[in-house]
Chain A
Amino acid sequence: MKTRLTIISLAGGIALGCFAGLAHADPVDDTLEIDGQPMITRAPAPEGHPFDEVLSGWLFREAETRAVEADSFQNPGMLEVERAAEIWSTPEGTAGKSCETCHGDVSESMKGVGAHYPKWDKDANRPINIELQIDKCRTEQMGAEPYKFDAKDQKAMTALIKNQSLGEPMSVDLSQGDMQSWWDRGKDTYYTRTGQLNLSCSNCHEDSMGNMIRADHLSQGQVNGFPTYRLKQSALVSLHNRFRGCIRDTRAEFPKAFSDELMALEVYVTWRGTGLSVETPAVRQ
Chain B
Amino acid sequence: MKTGSAFFLSGAMALAAVTFAGTANAADTAPNDVAFNEMQVSESLTGMPGDPAAGADAFKNRKLGNCLACHTTTAMESELFHGNVGPDLDGAGSRWTEAQLRAIVVDAKQVFGPDSRMPGFYSLHVGKNVAEKFHGKTILSAQDVENIVAFLVTLKDE
Contact = CB atoms under 8 A, between A and B. Distances in A.
Contacts of A18: 80-81
A214 B83 contact: yes
A253 B1 CA distance: 12
Interface stretch (A84-92, A157-165, A240-248, A264-272): A240-248
Contacts of A151: none
B127 A215 contact: no
A1 interface: no
A3 B1 CA distance: 32
Contact of B132 (A212, A242, A253): A253
A198 interface: yes
Interface residues of A, number: 39
A248 B84 CA distance: 21
A9 interface: no
A233 B77 CA distance: 29
A144 to B, nearest CB: 26
Given A195-B126, A212-B82, A215-B80, A251 B7 contact: no
B64 to A, nearest CB: 13
Contact of A252 (B1, B7, B70, B128): B128
Interface stretch (A19-27, A33-41, A123-131, A174-182): A19-27
B75 to A, nearest CB: 13
B1 A248 contact: yes
Given A212-B83, A214-B83, A248-B4, A195 B131 contact: yes
A196 B130 contact: yes
Interface in B82-96: 82-85
Interface in A198-238: 198-200, 203, 207-208, 211-216, 218, 230, 233, 237
Given A237-B2, A251-B134, 8 more contacts: A192-B127, A198-B119, A198-B127, A211-B83, A213-B5, A214-B81, A248-B1, A252-B129
Interface of B: 1-8, 14, 62, 66, 68-70, 72, 77, 80-85, 117, 119-120, 125-132, 134, 137, 139
15 contacts: A20-B80, A21-B77, A21-B81, A194-B130, A196-B134, A197-B126, A207-B117, A214-B68, A214-B83, A242-B3, A245-B3, A249-B7, A249-B8, A251-B14, A253-B132
